Every structure is written in C-alpha cells, then in structure tokens.
Amino acid sequence: MSTFNAPKGTYDLIPPDSEVFLAVREAIAAPLRDAGYGYIETPVFEDVQLFSRGVGESTDIVSKEMYSFTTKGGDDLALRPEGTAPVLRAVLQHNLHRAGGLPVKVWYSGSQYRYERPQAGRYRQFSQVGAEAIGAEDPALDAELIILAVDAYRSLGLRSFRLLLNSLGDRECRPVYRAALQDFLRGLDLDEDTRRRAELNPLRVLDDKRESVQQQLADAPLMRDHLCQACKAYHEQVRELLTAAGVDYVDDPRLVRGLDYYTRTTFEFVHDGLGSQSAVGGGGRYDGLSEMIGGPALPSVGWALGVDRTVLALKAEGVQIDLPARTQVFAVPLGDQARQVLFGLVTALRRAGVPADIAFGGKGLKGAMKAADRSGARWAVVAGERDLADGVVQLKDLTSGDQIPVAADALVTTLKEKLS
C-alpha cells in the first residue's frame, strides 16, 4: 500500500468505473458534434482576474472556493473553477469571432477546481462537459443548447431529471429589480456577511441554501415581475421552442445560479436521487461577459454538465450503460514459441480493429483461461507446440465452450467474420 492517498475532496477514477465515466462524457459530447460544435481546450490555470472580473467578486466561487496562487515569476493565477470565462478568453485571444460567421459554437471537456466542503456529489476536482455559442442573441440558440443537453441525458437512459427555467432580465430591467430586492433584504434579520453580499449583489442572497435565510425569502420580489417587454418576449420564445421540441420544464422564478454573468435565459438540471446536491448541470445566457473581460459585445449562451454527477444520477436510477467489451479476443500461449506467434497474431488483430489481449507473466493454462474470463472476451485463442507444428491455433467460444482449429494465417479473417 502507498504511503500517500488522493487529496481530500478528490478521487481516483479507475476501471471499471472509468469506462462508465468515458461513456457518459462521450454521450454528452455526441449531440454537440452533430450540431456543429467544435472542440476547444484551455489551460487548467488562468489569470486570477479573468474569474474575479468575469465570474464576480461577490460569488462564493471567487471569494471562498477558488484555488489562487502566485508563481515564482510573480504572476497571480488560479485553477479554473468554471469553463465559460476561459473559453471566451480563448475565442477573443485567437479572434475566432472574426474568423467567420457568428455564433462561434464550441464544446469542451475537462476538470474544474473549487475548494469546497467535500460531500457526496461535490468534489474539489470535478469533471464537466460544456458547450458555448458565442456571438449571437437568438432564443433558438438558447433552446438548441437546452435540447442538446436533454437529448444527451435521454440517450444515456436518464429519466428522473427536471429542467428548471428562469429569466434574469437584462441591463434595462435588472437594475430595477436589483433595487427592489435590496430594499426587501434590508428589512430581514441577516448576518453581517450576508448583508454585505446583499449590497454587492443581492441576487447571490437568493442562492443562499441555509434554511434560516430561505424562510425569510418567501415574500421576496421576483425577477419575472420586473422583466421588460423585450425580455418577456425573448423568454416566451425560448419556452415555446422547448415545448415544440417535447422538452418539459419547470418555471422557477427563484433560480439564479452561482455566477454573476448570467442574463436572460437561466436554467438548471436537477435530479432528486442525489439528495441536497441535486444539480447535475446548468447554464444560461451571458450577454455582457465579453465586455467584462475586455472584449467587444458578444451576446452568448452556454452550459456545463457534470460528468461525475451524471454518473451518480445513473446509479440512483439503477441505469446500466451497455459498454463495449474492452477485449473481444484473448490469446493463451502454451510455451515460449507459442507466446511469440500469438503475440504477433494479437498485434495483427489490433491493427485490424479487433480489441485483443494476451496472457502475460508466464501463466499456465488454468491461470490464463481465468484471465480470459475476467477480460470479458468472447473468444480465446489457445496454441501450444503441437498446434503450431500443424500450422493452427485453437479458437474457443468462451460463451458456449465450443472449440475449433483455425489456420494461424487465417485467424484475423476468421475472427473478423465471426465478430461481424
């Protein structure tokens, strides 16, 4: 046993759980590729100001949870706590918004880092697949991204998730609501830290999960009652497009999420089988973020879905993902000469697109056949000196137990025919 363990709030992703993880990530990414989203990857650390200015100084993510540090060269950096600001930074840096038509549609996959209190479904390093559509203000784009997320969940067999939907208004109507909410919050019995937050960004208080705070917010003013006509019309178009696509949603007038850059459409996917940490993903429109980080006006929308939490949701529903066998053919050599020949055949099978493995470590027949069973392979290829002298190998069906001799030089062709 090693002297060291994985750091608190993290975990090792190992087989066979890692196979499910990869399948979930691929299922989320597949609809995005089909819809014309290109892959983008950004560094795991960025200038700390990218998140302070973009995500917001008043958010828990920046004020309490961000891993920030100063390099030996004096640069102030942070491990990325979320993926949208880095992706937008990359789009601006490489002028993708000027290279062709808008929107720029990209997707990403990777780990994010937040110093949170570890608990089931919440880790300090967690994996997401995200998608961003940058440079266009169009309700159909908001609806497209939501539909792609719903289709990804459904393709995995996930059913007991709910889509929460809200609008947070824009630069015209949000200040009016902000003032009304601040007036309401000033009359509540709040601790000093929450009062300070209410003055900086009162919407953050609505996201407070403490029961003592939530009870006092029962009569808080709602954003939907302060939306301007343009935001009302925009939100109604999103709702109509979702309904036409067969997507069920729940209007949640208190949904704000934990990031300051959201405007208009805001949404979250929740799964009741995950307890208090019920969110499995979410996103929204962020029309002013580009300007916050020094870029031009680029109205945009996006989401991030948690891979870790989606895996937990699948377990909560008892959904078993059909995974392709890592190995379809397992070679069992009996003797040094057979090892050399079968190693060459296994290499040829792999190059022909057939997943294959071979017993290592000089195992005897019994031990090698146990390894073949554990591999999940359908076929075993067994050969000893007598077989090789006859120019054949023994092909054994590990399901039925039937065994037939096959010419060694015809093995690849024979197996490809049987597996097809």
Is 132 annotated to bind a ligand? Reply is yes
Is 257 annotated to bind a ligand? Reply is yes
Instruction: Report how far residue 310's alpha carbon sits from residue 113's, in angstroms, rounded to the nearest whole number.
Output: 18
Is 171 annotated to bind a ligand? Reply is no
Is 261 annotated to bind a ligand? Reply is yes
The three state secondary structure string of the chain is CCCCCCCCCCCCCCCCHHHHHHHHHHHHHHHHHHCCCEECCCCCEEEHHHHHHHCCCCCHHHHHHCCEEECCCCCEEEECCCCHHHHHHHHHHCCHHHHCCCCEEEEEEEEEECCCCCECCECCEEEEEEEEEECCCCHHHHHHHHHHHHHHHHHCCCCCEEEEEEECCCCCCHHHHHHHHHHHHCCCCCCHHHHHHHHHCCHHHHCCCCHHHHHHCCCCCCHHHCCCHHHHHHHHHHHHHHHHCCCCCEECCCCCCCCCCCEEEEEEEEEHHHCCCCEEEEEEECCCHHHHCCCCCCCEEEEEEEHHHHHHHHHHHCCCCCCCCCCCEEEEECCHHHHHHHHHHHHHHHHCCCCEEECCCCCCHHHHHHHHHHHCCCEEEEECHHHHHCCEEEEEECCCCCEEEEEHHHHHHHHHHHHC
Is 340 annotated to bind a ligand? Reply is no
| Cα-based distances in Å from 199 to 49, 170, 186, 250 | 22, 19, 9, 30
Is 263 annotated to bind a ligand? Reply is no
What's the first-to-final CA gap in the chain, in angstroms? 43
Is 53 annotated to bind a ligand? Reply is no
What single-letter amino acid sits at 391? Answer: G
Is 82 annotated to bind a ligand? Reply is yes
Instruction: Report how far residue 223's alpha carbon sits from residue 297's, in angstroms, rounded to the nearest whole number.
Output: 24
**Sequence ranges of the binding site for L-histidine:** 82-84, 114, 128, 132, 257, 261-262
**Sequence ranges of the binding site:** 82-84, 114, 128, 132, 257, 261-262
